[in-house]
Amino acid sequence: MKASVDSDRCAGHGDCVSTCGEVFGWTADGFAEVILDDIPDEYKDLVVKAVHDCPEHAISAEG
């Protein structure tokens, strides 16, 4: 699985970082970013939750 954060949509709420800090982190500007290129199986459910819970719909995941 791979995830991405649309930097044009992210408003820095941090829900994804709170949900799965192993996959999502912060940029220097205070917005979310993906910190793992390939997401291990153990985090997939949390990434899917982060996709659905993002208030700005800025996160996508596939694979």
Residue 2: enclosing H or E segment and its boundaries? strand 2-5
What is the mean predicted confidence (pLDDT) over 4-24?
98
Q: 0.75 cut: is pTM over it?
A: yes
> What confidence category does residue 48 fall into, taking pLDDT thresholds of 50, 70 and 90?
very high
What is the mean predicted confidence (pLDDT) over 25-47?
97
> What confidence category does residue 52 fall into, taking pLDDT thresholds of 50, 70 and 90?
very high
Question: What are the structural domains of the chain?
Answer: 2-57 (3.30.70.20)
pLDDT of residue 33: 98
Q: Give Cβ neighbours of residue 25 (< 8 Å, ≥ 6 apart).
A: 17, 32, 33, 34, 35
